A and B are shown apart, each in its own frame.
Chain A
Amino acid sequence: MNTGRRRERYYLTYPRHLIKEPLLYHLVKKFDLMFNIRGASVSDEIGLVAVEFEGTSEQIGRALEWLRQSGVTVEPIEKNVIE
Chain B
Amino acid sequence: MSYITALKCRECGQDYPVEPLHVCETCFGPLEVVYDYGRIRAALSHKLIESRPRNLWRYRELLPVDHEPDIGPCSGFTPLLHARRLGAEIGIKRLYIKDDTVNHPTLSYKDRVVSVAITRAQEFGFSTVSCASTGNLATAVAAHAARAGLKCYIFMPEGVESGKIVGSAIYGARVITIRGNYDDVNRLCSEIADKYGWAFVNINLRPYYTEGAKTFGFEIAEQLGWKLPDSVVIPTAGGTILPKVAKAFKELKDIGLVKGGAPKIHSAQAAGSAPVIHALHKGTDLISPVKPNTIAKSIAIGNPADGFYVLGAVRESGGWGEMATDEEIVDAIKLLARTEGIFAEPAGGTTLAVTLKLLAQGRIKPEETVVVSITGNGYKTLEAVSNAVEQPFVIEARLDDFDALFERLSGGKRLAGAA
Chain A residues near B185: list those with CB within 8 A.
82
19 other A-B residue contacts (CB within 8 Å) besides A78-B186, A78-B305, A81-B186: A11-B28, A13-B289, A15-B288, A39-B11, A39-B28, A41-B286, A43-B286, A45-B282, A45-B284, A45-B288, A46-B284, A80-B186, A80-B303, A82-B132, A82-B182, A82-B189, A82-B301, A83-B110, A83-B301
- In the complex, the answer to whether B304 meets A76 with C-beta atoms within 8 Å is no
* Contact residues of B: prevailing secondary structure: loop
Is the CB of A73 closer than 8 A to any CB of chain B? yes
Do A9 and B23 have beta carbons less than 8 Å apart? yes
Query: Which of B27, B132, B183, B189 has most A Cβ within 10 Å?
Result: B183
Cβ contact of A13, chosen from B132, B203, B237, B288, cutoff 8 A: B288
Question: Are A81 and B305 interface neighbours, CB within 8 A?
Answer: yes
Within 8 A of B (CB), among A5-41: 9, 11, 13, 15, 38-39, 41
B132 in contact with A38 (CB, 8 Å):
no
Could you jot down 26 A-B contacts, CB within 8 Å?
A9-B28, A11-B28, A13-B288, A38-B27, A41-B285, A43-B284, A45-B282, A45-B286, A46-B286, A50-B27, A50-B28, A73-B303, A78-B206, A79-B186, A80-B186, A80-B238, A81-B131, A81-B186, A81-B189, A81-B190, A81-B200, A83-B131, A83-B133, A83-B137, A83-B237, A83-B238
**A residues adjacent to B (C-beta < 8 A):** 9, 11, 13, 15, 38-39, 41, 43, 45-46, 48, 50, 73-83
Task: Give the CA-CA distance A73 to B28 in the complex, in Å.
Answer: 17
Q: How large is the interface on B (under 10, 10 to 19, 20 to 34, 35 or more residues)?
A: 35 or more
- CB pair A76–B190 under 8 Å, yes or no, is yes
A-side contacts of B187, CB under 8 Å: 75-76
Question: Within the assembled complex, what's the spacing in Å between the Cα atoms of A38 and B26?
Answer: 7
Instruction: Please give, as numbers and ranges, the residues of chain B lying within 8 Å of A81 by CB-CB distance.
Output: 131-132, 186, 189-190, 200, 202-203, 305
